[in-house]
Structure 1
Amino acid sequence: MTSPWPRAIRSVLRKPRRSVLMILIMAVVFTALVAQSGVRSSMAEVKNAISANVGAGFTATAAVDAAAGSEAQSGSGAPQQPPTQQPPAHQPPADQGGIDEKVAERLAGIPQVARHSLEAVTIAQPEGANPVTSNRGVQLDPEFAGGVTVTGASDSSLNSAFQGKLYQLVEGKHVAATASQAVIHGEFADHNNLKVGDMLTLAQGDKKVTVTVAGIFEGKTENPSGLPAGASENNVFVDLASAQELGVPITAGRYFTHNAEELPQALAAAQKIAPKLTLEDNSAQFAPVLQAIAGVDKLLATMLLGLSIAGALVLALVSTFWARGRIHEVGVLLSLGKSKGNVLTQFALEATIFAAAAAAISAVLGSVLSGVLGRAVVAQAGDETLSSIHLATNAGGIATALAWGFIIVLMGVSVGVLPLIMQRPKRILSKLS
């Protein structure tokens, strides 16, 4: 029979134990490759999720001198320093002309910018309400101690203190660009018997604005100035329009990109649009996390290489014993005039049958194992955002892993069988006598 196909099929069926053993060995190699591919896909999803949720972005402020800059706000996302050292997000910047609103909106139009918030910070006097006082910090005479820090924001949730989890909204909602609303600290609310829905009037000179309490927050930031108005309890967030009614210019713009990878391009575009503004990015905050994930990805790539080498060596060893056990069959086929290519093709077809069966098993087992390992990786992060990621099986990754497995099988079989096939039929048969 000239065609190697019938011989290959008969050989597989005639020795069921040998065939099952070969399939199981290949299934182990294939499962490891599929699971490793699945974990890499999970890590890629985790990296994308982190990249999209780290709050990557930059803060634009009007240029100030060195002394003023030391008290200005820094960063646009989570604080770069530990909470005990974090400058208060509500600290009013030094006197400056502010940012032109048209320039600020042009920055918001950068393609990489997904969200933004403009801020205007000042100190105002609350009418019918008193700031929270304490025994800490600088104590002023009563006539000078009645001010609170007012931070006008087009989206107060994007303020660095909220982004850094130093402040947490515990009731109500954040303020936006308009609507005459305010978010106040819980202690300020208790001190003045204020609750969500109450009115609060703020005055600066001869200008006044009345806002509705829309939310209450908790938390503290450090107050390096020591002034009562700089305390977290006396920080009032209002909508941007209300702050502008008090005559306050825009003092900062916070811009967030779709993901961390887009931040350098966004910064480059922002520098062209507003070369006179001070731009400060927050890449230092999330760089270690992304670097750690990149390190894990390299480790998994090394594991893939190691699995490939180990799998090829195991299969080569198994194939050698497999071929040695059939030396009589090879000698007879060669003596009957079958070409070496014909015999080698038969072995390759048998190996392909084994590999196909192993691939079917591994596609299921590997997917399950990769899902378990992927969820374990996400669980170690302990983050609600990451825990909500749906780790779907990547069909393309499985196909690639199985294809690589087939290549390893054929290479292993070739290494095991070729030395035997290359011998003369007479020499093979003489070994049997």
Structure 2
Amino acid sequence: MGSFKRAVLYITRKKKKSILMFFILFCIATAVLSGISIKKATSIARQNSSKETANTFEIQNNLATNFTGTMPESLVNKVSKVNGIKNYDASVQGIGLVFKQLQNVEPKNNTVQYTDKQYKNLFPVEAHKFTEYDTKFMSKSFRLVEGRHLVEGDKNKVLVHKALAEKNNLKVGDRIIGTKDSLDYNASKDAPSEYDLEIVGIFESQNTDRMGSKLEIPENLILSDMNTLNALYGYSKGNSQYTSAVFNTNKNVDDVISDVNKIQENWSLYNISKSDDTFLALSKSFDSLEKIVNMLLIGSIIVGIIVLSLVLAFWIQGRIHETGILLSIGVGKFKIISQYIIELLLISVLAFGTSYFSSKMISQNIGDAMVSQASKQAVQEVQQGFGGMSLGYDANTSLATQTVDGIDVDVSLKEVLYVYAIGATIIISSVMISSSSIIRLKPKEILSKMS
């Protein structure tokens, strides 16, 4: 009788032991399959998150040396002409305009209470040349849901947040009147006191907690065209003073930055940062998530081998009588061990296949828990890097603490095949470990144990 036939007979006769082994292999396969699926989902999420921002860099002011807090339009124009620059956006962060007919969206967790009447109906305004290429939109932190983006040449055009639009019954095409605020000391004395602005688009943001003050949260941020703030600050044509500029490349970003640094300019006044520097917590959250997933996957394999080896050790010791009889009729040790392996492989066919359904049920929940843990760790690491200080809740600063918002875990048949391969390795390793006592013993010693 061959090893395969003996294995089939043993499985069918020892139903309780077979069911126990099925359950053990099923649990091991579920853990391994969930780990593989979550690892794949993490890799896809990381690729997607960096797809739009991987080849971008941002020029900002070096506040340690540049006390003006701005950069000239001439510098941005020079950089935009460097070989490899695909498109760019330059922006100006203004203190804001007063919109008397609008009500602010109130933060759920207000960190600053404004009692001065000057702050009533005050809204922060941020001007852009091309909002489509702004880091917040490129990274999907902001998403345009209605209308169009702001482009160069727009005049008296704005984008407003969906929450602000809903609170004030605003829609694309409506006009809002903004007035110059006395708090903005940078505003030109000759600037118009009133601005008639048309809403050309509505955006939404990932910030759902609405923490911070009403002047920080994205819900109250109004994005305007560059001409509006040029008029407010008295910048003549070609002489705008930008707060920052984002450049998207179609070449290796490091090579482009190297060419940018060759431009004759006092670069000590400015900082050039890549997307990894901008999205500090995002990169760290993926690193943490990958570590947690690898621990789950490797841990599942190691624990599987240990548990299976211990169970098999007792199982094989209980079969010493059977082993002795097989040896006495001339069956070799290799064939006996092969029978053990075949028995487990036959049980694993059903156990590993069934794990496909259990992993589909639990892997997304496990993945969500891992994402939450990794995000918390990443934000803590970023804040520790800044002395434990909160980095603020405004739309631009919060990019540094933006983390992975979720992963879409999908269990496919391809991953099940990996489980079969890994599971077979675990089974063979466990059988060899647990059978080591039989392999070392001579046939006479095994037969003597039967008595």
Which residue of 196, 212, 215 corresponds with 1:220? 215
Instruction: Return the alpha-carbon distance in structure 2 between the equivalents of residues 36 and 365 of structure 1.
Output: 13
Give a deviation string over 1:81-103, Cα, whole Å, max 9, x none.
Answer: xxxxxxxxxxxx37x57236364
Q: In structure 2, what is the equivalent of residue 352 of structure 1? A: 345
Give the residue type in structure 2 aligned to 1:183.
Answer: V
Give a deviation string over 1:360-390, Cα, whole Å, max 9, x none.
Answer: 1222212322122123445776999966753
The 1:292/1:343 distance shift into structure 2, 3 A limit, reads: same
Instruction: Return the alpha-carbon distance in structure 1 between the equivalents of residues 200 and 12 of structure 2.
Output: 74
RMSD: 5.4
Instruction: Return the alpha-carbon distance in structure 2 between the equivalents of residues 321 and 299 of structure 1.
Output: 33
Contact 1:60/1:254 (<8 A) preserved: yes
Which residue of 176, 180, 184 corresponds with 2:151? 176
Give the residue type in structure 2 aligned to 1:154.
Answer: K
5+ long unaligned stretches in structure 2? 96-115, 181-187, 203-212, 377-400
Taking structure 2 as the reference length, what is the TM-score of the superposition?
0.62
Give the residue type in structure 2 aligned to 1:275.
Answer: K
Spell out the pairing of 1:26-45 with structure 2 (5 A cutoff): 26-45=25-44
Contact 2:39/2:293 (<8 A) preserved: yes
Spell out the pairing of 1:160-309 with structure 2 (5 A cutoff): 174-183=149-158, 196-197=174-175, 213-214=198-199, 220=215, 237-238=224-225, 246-249=236-239, 251-252=241-242, 254-255=245-246, 265-276=252-263, 278-281=270-273, 283-309=276-302
- CA offset at residue 23 of structure 1? 1.5
Instruction: Return the alpha-carbon distance in structure 2 between the equivalents of residues 310 and 25 of structure 1.
Output: 11
- CA offset at residue 254 of structure 1? 2.6
Give the residue type in structure 1 aligned to 2:355.
Answer: S
Instruction: Return the alpha-carbon distance in structure 2 between the equivalents of residues 240 and 414 of structure 1.
Output: 76
**Bigger Rg over Cα:** 1
The 1:21/1:174 distance shift into structure 2, 3 A limit, reads: same
Contact 2:359/2:411 (<8 A) preserved: no
Instruction: Return the alpha-carbon distance in structure 2 between the equivalents of residues 34 and 392 of structure 1.
Output: 11
Instruction: Give the match's secondary structure for 2:421.
Output: helix
Instruction: Give the match's secondary structure for 1:116.
Output: strand
Which residue of 44, 66, 71 corresponds with 2:68? 71
The 1:342/1:55 distance shift into structure 2, 3 A limit, reads: closer
Q: In structure 2, what is the equivalent of residue 153 of structure 1? A: 128
Give the residue type in structure 2 aligned to 1:269.
Answer: V
- CA offset at residue 178 of structure 1? 3.1
Q: In structure 2, what is the equivalent of residue 117 of structure 1? A: 89
Spell out the pairing of 1:46-61 with structure 2 (5 A cutoff): 46-51=45-50, 57-60=56-59
- CA offset at residue 355 of structure 1? 2.1
Q: Choose 244-253 or 157-166, whichever is displaced more.
A: 157-166
Q: Is the aligned partner of 1:339 residue 2:332?
A: yes
Q: In structure 2, what is the equivalent of residue 405 of structure 1? A: 423
Give the residue type in structure 2 aligned to 1:413.
Answer: V
Contact 1:120/1:249 (<8 A) preserved: no
5+ long unaligned stretches in structure 1? 73-92, 124-133, 138-148, 223-231
Instruction: Return the alpha-carbon distance in structure 2 between the equivalents of residues 387 and 122 of structure 1.
Output: 29
Instruction: Return the alpha-carbon distance in structure 2 between the equivalents of residues 240 and 155 of structure 1.
Output: 12
Instruction: Return the alpha-carbon distance in structure 1 between the equivalents of residues 160 and 23 of structure 2.
Output: 65
Give the residue type in structure 2 aligned to 1:5.
Answer: F
Give a deviation string over 1:386-423, Cα, whole Å, max 9, x none.
Answer: 66753322544443344222211111111222422443
Instruction: Return the alpha-carbon distance in structure 2 between the equivalents of residues 237 and 174 of structure 1.
Output: 10
Q: Choose 267-276 or 326-335, whichever is displaced more.
A: 267-276
Give a deviation string over 1:304-326, Cα, whole Å, max 9, x none.
Answer: 33332222121111112221222
Instruction: Return the alpha-carbon distance in structure 1 between the equivalents of residues 292 and 91 of structure 2.
Output: 43
Contact 2:177/2:196 (<8 A) preserved: yes
Instruction: Return the alpha-carbon distance in structure 1 between the equivalents of residues 135 and 158 of structure 2.
Output: 15
Give the residue type in structure 1 aligned to 2:238.
Answer: V
The 1:135/1:171 distance shift into structure 2, 3 A limit, reads: farther
- CA offset at residue 424 of structure 1? 3.2
Give the residue type in structure 1 aligned to 2:421.
Answer: A
Contact 1:198/1:213 (<8 A) preserved: yes
Instruction: Return the alpha-carbon distance in structure 1 between the equivalents of residues 15 and 62 of structure 2.
Output: 82
Instruction: Return the alpha-carbon distance in structure 2 between the equivalents of residues 345 and 305 of structure 1.
Output: 26
Instruction: Return the alpha-carbon distance in structure 1 between the equivalents of residues 58 and 339 of structure 2.
Output: 68
Q: In structure 2, what is the equivalent of residue 99 of structure 1? A: 75
Q: Is the aligned partner of 1:392 residue 2:391?
A: no
The 1:119/1:98 distance shift into structure 2, 3 A limit, reads: farther
Give a deviation string over 1:325-346, Cα, whole Å, max 9, x none.
Answer: 2222221221112222222222
- CA offset at residue 173 of structure 1? 5.5
Contact 1:316/1:416 (<8 A) preserved: yes
Q: Is the aligned partner of 1:417 residue 2:435?
A: yes
Q: Is the aligned partner of 1:374 residue 2:372?
A: no
Instruction: Return the alpha-carbon distance in structure 1 between the equivalents of residues 52 and 127 of structure 2.
Output: 24
Instruction: Return the alpha-carbon distance in structure 1 between the equivalents of residues 92 and 405 of structure 2.
Output: 36
Instruction: Give the match's secondary structure for 1:99.
Output: helix
The 1:280/1:9 distance shift into structure 2, 3 A limit, reads: same
